Structure 1
């Protein structure tokens, strides 16, 4: 297959490039519409009790409160006569808004729970209509119209889930522009340092752009038929740029190596596609397999990253295999045009030879325990914060401290008697008579942390009823009842999550079933949902990785070795991120608020880091295996293999890490977690694992590193993947060069 791809590029290079240009133009047209198709949110399981409760409330009660307008009197109290008139006018204006439902204000109800303890602030609660992007746009239009000064009587600020999601969407776009503004120029500079040639440096950027444009088009199509998260855009740009550069770097390095070895342009293309092209295809399969595991989760936030990840990997690989060889044919030796001054002195020397990495591998092979144990100790120490890890879901705390919705949340918790916006919503989806409903509400009001329970029949507190409150008739329907359980507990705290379990443990009226919703219930259900499917996702990643590496190496030990080392490096990465983002270290430097680890982002980071570590595993193992198959002993194959691949892996890792580290400038803390964690995982894997732990493990395993039972050896002989292709052109030996094998294949 790879030979046919090479021949197509050689014979029809200009046709391939014309088709590529047309395809990119079409992808650009489609991809431009992706932003309008993608949604915010997506963190909850649609089949969970909290999601089902929200659905019933939407259908029968006009929707849960997701917008809170905090109204602060310019002078005096909000219940003064002048303020009363302005407050009723504000509530009346809001009720006329076509995008709002269930508008409830202090001035309509007179409820002291909607007035702050000092009487200076009051709340207006509402439900913003719509889903995803439509809801965010509706919320933004209301917020823009009503926040700020109102009739010289009030100052209005917006909070609640709809306001938070709207701010997060806006901030995500700003973070993306800043991150790409940093990553692209810095990447170009690094490519110039790596290649020393302007033309060669631009080729990997071209593949990255194709991968990003193609994935935007894919997201547009998927967003037209299913729910896709807006944050898939961030992964697309980081991974598209990084992997496109990774794969192109491999191809360009091999092509230049063949030219410098004396091969003709056509032969160099054939050799490059048959060797580096094969490695790109196999590497892409391993990365895609890891990211495909995200699709087992019901939350479309996670599934969206699976869609984007698999798409960007596939498009990057296909464009590398077809477009890059065609460019090589057209450019020929001009691929080295625009050489920079420092590169001219090294002209004629193979770009993939790195004596440092060969010497390092040799040192490790001679003293594996002495060199590997300190590295293992550091990685295990870095992983130790995982012993105290806790999980949460995104809320207003991921935003900067000066964001409006976050300030509103703080005021609601500090100055009001209970947080109505964070109440638990209990739904009974059938008719319930008054006496059983009252008995149920009384029992709920006696739970620890509950300050009141609101129903259609009255308000209950401390295990009894409040005689002066006749209840909220809007909470009752002929065929359903909604019960609001308001507490003083901090949202998403351990105590608030325990309250969800306590409420669910209370038996509802006889013959009925209850569904518990609200922000804390969503968190509990999200953790349960992700946790229940995580073993399946991990098993799929491990199994597909094992099978692919076995097909590539013919050994059952190599896949196991790779899995163990990758888990160690991932543990260290997640431990460091827990130490930073959960424990709050470096919070003042990075400008975030410490909170439990985002459960969805942690799973995403695991899959991305695992897939990319397999990427470099293939880069390194392919050359080691090739040299071993050519008859070199284990130590020589590892030493020479790392000597050939060390520079490429390090350069690729640095370039890919830059794409992720750029998101460390984000103001959304979970995007900082995503960027810094993924970048750190890449560097740990490329340096500590590939440079130290892999040669140490290979030395300790010895010949058993290539072991497979007889029946599996026969299976691999028939179905396994191996390097092949036309015979390479030998390069002249240089007395100054280390004893690398010159007629090798692979990376």
Structure 2
């Protein structure tokens, strides 16, 4: 299938590029511009919880006039007190002006206030309400405070009219500026200062911050990633390709999300998640694809073959990787919270579209570019600086060009840093395992202090004015947080209500109605929730039943303390009402903002075990179908859990304990549960993602015949650099989002950065080879019946076909197919023995050069039984130089090397060549070609001639003039010197044409030829 995709993308490359570029560019712009207006700030609560049901009952009963959505904090001017008559009148008039402007008419944004019971009904009806008993000491003590400096403060609240969270946010944005103009008018400034807070302004600040931070992060991420890609590839063209895939991924995902928003609710966090995950994953997949394509070109394949082989290898791995991440993200759809499912949708769209474009569009672009993918490299910059005679900058470019040289043999890579690290790890695997596991478990320790919380002002930066107002209010009025716990009674009698409230007032954690009296009630008397101002009856239809609704409020001492709220809510819900009858609607519900948040957190915590089980099962199944081993998926899951645990420990240490808060502009505190669950799924998916890349390369080596230890070493060393580069790319994107002012985005960003750096280095490059070294061949174990299922499904790794450089199958090439004067087809890839390495290209000029370490795969030639035929003497008139046939032309992918660095060819190499070999190249084995059936080579024993071992038998010796009994004495006379070595077009060290006997070029006399 992947071979067919590769051929298709190359054959229709121009059509694919035109169609996808035009369609994604058009729809992407539309989606990017229109998605923000369609998203909503909803999905924060569990719709099946009692707290949501109680909110629906009270909202339907009273039209939300009891909801303290907007908080106005009042500070009298210098030298004045809140109790001064002019201050009281000015505040009362200001509130009347606000209500007259925004609470009347068909387009009213605020609710008209219920004046039925200003003292008890709501925090909105304070002593500033018209007609309120302003001299009442109880009201004054309840709604005023004195700060440490002796100044007095007061407050009043305003309810929003809309019952929809998103609409309330939009209404607040519309009235915010004119409302502030009324509150902060010149007349009021002489009397008091007004500050605005409350749940709706806080939520609006979060919404605005999400959209602003997304744009800022994208502006930072793109150039940062471009710089990293340039240094990874050593060229501009290759670096631009993954960036194109990243930008198109964001555009396409935004367009799809915008269409989805027309049919279902989509949370506003979907946009940043698409940018963060989609951009990072697209760059990673682009890196894997482009790197493999360059590797295939370096081996000498033509462009169509290189494209096809890239899709068959890197493309297949990209697909398996994306399926694993998508499967992990899909597990989040079991969550009851719309916020979490929306974020999962954004991440899923980013991963899926990035994989699709990397599999279809990117190969098409590579097919158009071909070898031009190496253009505008460091070498090109080097010519500029050499021309300008800038030695310092030129020296830096020289160094960078050497480090990023595009052609490296497999031996070069395995001899590099990652090969040395792998060697060290495999020598002492137990030591490596103990060291890494101990380190990661130590990082996991802070998890014991992990705390969850709902949305609050603490998610805004400390410098935000709305947050400062809310912090000041909670400092001054801890018993009037504006977020009371509500007991909503339905069809309950006075006796039943009294019985429940008597027990509720005994529950600790709530503030007293009179702070000065420790014996005062913690809950207010239950009041009728039906608004008489709206002319409604005393009965309300709820869930098909006609009920009466009464509400009692109580304030938590710390509504952000999830543990305390949970204990209080559990105690309230455990109260047994006498005569309760759910079938008749007689009972009570516990709700309010603290309870809404607690129920959401509780649903997330109860979800985690099921989520982890589902993640493990899906990952294990997918990896088994991909690799055919049961050991590998189990090992991968355990290591992913270790990476995940260390990441959660780091996040707890940083964000709950508050380390680094001053540096990164956040306040430590409980973490938002849905965002943390998203981090768990993404980190787990990425961990298995990198495992797929490492294991895929190991299995590719195994398919070529390598032993387990050889496969571990080769797979780890060959993927070490590219996986580290991919992790750095995704970490750069995450770092751009870490500049966000919102702590929720910082959770995701810092979690990804830590997980990537730990997983791609310590875990994948140290722990994986160490564990597999100890497992040995058991790494590939699976029960026979399971392996049969895997083979039937057909998702196992496949080895590359044996083929020539122009893509022809090996079966179509015969050893004698090379015409005289032409080179035999070169065999590469799987056409060689398993240990064959690939042809290198010199890192200084990017050209391909004949290798010196490839096996001898010539067809077997019969070994002579007796002495070989005598070589005829020189013909009459011999002048010391033979007429030579034309030199075979070298493959176009392998221009001749500088004669000063070209290795002396081994004689007799005229048949079909092995993988990556040009005609006449030596074997890769230092001690000769691979052993044959008799232990002496592929053709059996090969006796030595007078100048060393011959290629396939004794080298015939030239007869002296005069025949067997020449006139010069002895049985054959004195030996004649060989004629001078012909000078071919390749220079004195270039390949030589075949001699008249067809046995290949002659060696220089008296010189032994190395098989190196």
| Counterpart in the other structure of 2:798 | 723
Pairwise CA distance, 1:506: 2.8
- Residues 464 and 210 (structure 1 numbering): CA distance in 2 closer, same or farther, change over 3 Å? closer
Structure with higher helix content: 1
Question: Within 5 Å, which residues of 2 pair with 1:582-661?
Answer: 582-661=656-735
Aligned counterpart for 1:139 among listed residues 148, 164, 172: 172
Is this contact kept in 2: 1:114–1:122, CA < 8 A? no
Whole-angstrom CA distance in 1 between matches of 2:224 and 2:528: 59
Structure number with the bigger relative contact order (C-alpha 8 A, sep ≥ 6) is 1
Whole-angstrom CA distance in 1 between matches of 2:651 and 2:31: 36
Aligned counterpart for 1:86 among listed residues 64, 87, 90: 90
Pairwise CA distance, 1:105: 3.8
- Residues 726 and 164 (structure 1 numbering): CA distance in 2 closer, same or farther, change over 3 Å? same
| Counterpart in the other structure of 1:441 | 501
Does 2:110 correspond to 1:100? yes
| Counterpart in the other structure of 1:55 | 56
- Residues 206 and 743 (structure 1 numbering): CA distance in 2 closer, same or farther, change over 3 Å? farther
Pairwise CA distance, 1:14: 1.0
- Residues 400 and 739 (structure 1 numbering): CA distance in 2 closer, same or farther, change over 3 Å? farther
Whole-angstrom CA distance in 2 between matches of 1:446 and 1:532: 29
- Residues 466 and 419 (structure 1 numbering): CA distance in 2 closer, same or farther, change over 3 Å? closer
SS at structure 2 position matched to 1:227:
coil
Pairwise CA distance, 1:599: 1.7
- Residues 716 and 80 (structure 1 numbering): CA distance in 2 closer, same or farther, change over 3 Å? same
Question: Within 5 Å, which residues of 2 pair with 1:117-132?
Answer: 117-118=145-146, 120-128=152-160, 129-132=162-165
Pairwise CA distance, 1:733: 5.8
Pairwise CA distance, 1:494: 3.2
Question: Within 5 Å, which residues of 2 pair with 1:234-249?
Answer: 234-249=272-287
Pairwise CA distance, 1:693: 0.3
SS at structure 1 position matched to 2:21:
helix
Is this contact kept in 2: 1:492–1:523, CA < 8 A? no
| Counterpart in the other structure of 1:36 | 37
Does 2:508 correspond to 1:504? no
| Counterpart in the other structure of 2:240 | 202
Unaligned runs of 5+ in 1: 455-459
SS at structure 2 position matched to 1:192:
helix
Deviations 1:703-724 (CA, angstroms, capped at 9, x unpaired): 1111111111211222132224
- Residues 130 and 337 (structure 1 numbering): CA distance in 2 closer, same or farther, change over 3 Å? farther
Deviations 1:115-162 (CA, angstroms, capped at 9, x unpaired): 222383322223222534322121233332223524323322221211
Is this contact kept in 1: 2:324–2:688, CA < 8 A? yes
Question: Within 5 Å, which residues of 2 pair with 1:117-516?
Answer: 117-118=145-146, 120-128=152-160, 129-147=162-180, 149-150=184-185, 151-152=187-188, 153-341=191-379, 342=397, 344-345=401-402, 347=405, 349-350=407-408, 353=413, 355-416=416-477, 418-428=479-489, 430-452=490-512, 462=519, 477-478=538-539, 479-508=548-577, 510-511=579-580, 512-516=586-590
Is this contact kept in 2: 1:445–1:451, CA < 8 A? no
Is this contact kept in 1: 2:501–2:523, CA < 8 A? no
- Residues 470 and 14 (structure 1 numbering): CA distance in 2 closer, same or farther, change over 3 Å? closer
Deviations 1:681-712 (CA, angstroms, capped at 9, x unpaired): 01111001111000001011111111111111
- Residues 215 and 241 (structure 1 numbering): CA distance in 2 closer, same or farther, change over 3 Å? same
More off after superposition, 116-125 vs 646-655: 116-125
Deviations 1:617-646 (CA, angstroms, capped at 9, x unpaired): 111110101112222111110101112111
Whole-angstrom CA distance in 1 between matches of 2:719 and 2:239: 19
Whole-angstrom CA distance in 2 between matches of 1:566 and 1:255: 29
Deviations 1:709-744 (CA, angstroms, capped at 9, x unpaired): 111121122213222454364343689999999969
Does 2:135 correspond to 1:74? no
More off after superposition, 16-25 vs 510-519: 510-519
Is this contact kept in 1: 2:565–2:598, CA < 8 A? no
Does 2:836 correspond to 1:732? no
Deviations 1:405-445 (CA, angstroms, capped at 9, x unpaired): 322322322323612412102212x3334443344334433
Whole-angstrom CA distance in 2 between matches of 1:485 and 1:102: 24
- Residues 347 and 471 (structure 1 numbering): CA distance in 2 closer, same or farther, change over 3 Å? closer
Whole-angstrom CA distance in 2 between matches of 1:616 and 1:470: 59
- Residues 362 and 417 (structure 1 numbering): CA distance in 2 closer, same or farther, change over 3 Å? closer
Whole-angstrom CA distance in 2 between matches of 1:246 and 1:738: 33
Deviations 1:10-37 (CA, angstroms, capped at 9, x unpaired): 2211111111022211232133211111
Larger radius of gyration: 2
| Counterpart in the other structure of 2:2 | 2
Pairwise CA distance, 1:513: 2.0
Pairwise CA distance, 1:99: 1.1
Whole-angstrom CA distance in 1 between matches of 2:738 and 2:401: 36
Is this contact kept in 1: 2:523–2:552, CA < 8 A? no
What is the TM-score with the length of structure 1 in the denominator? 0.93
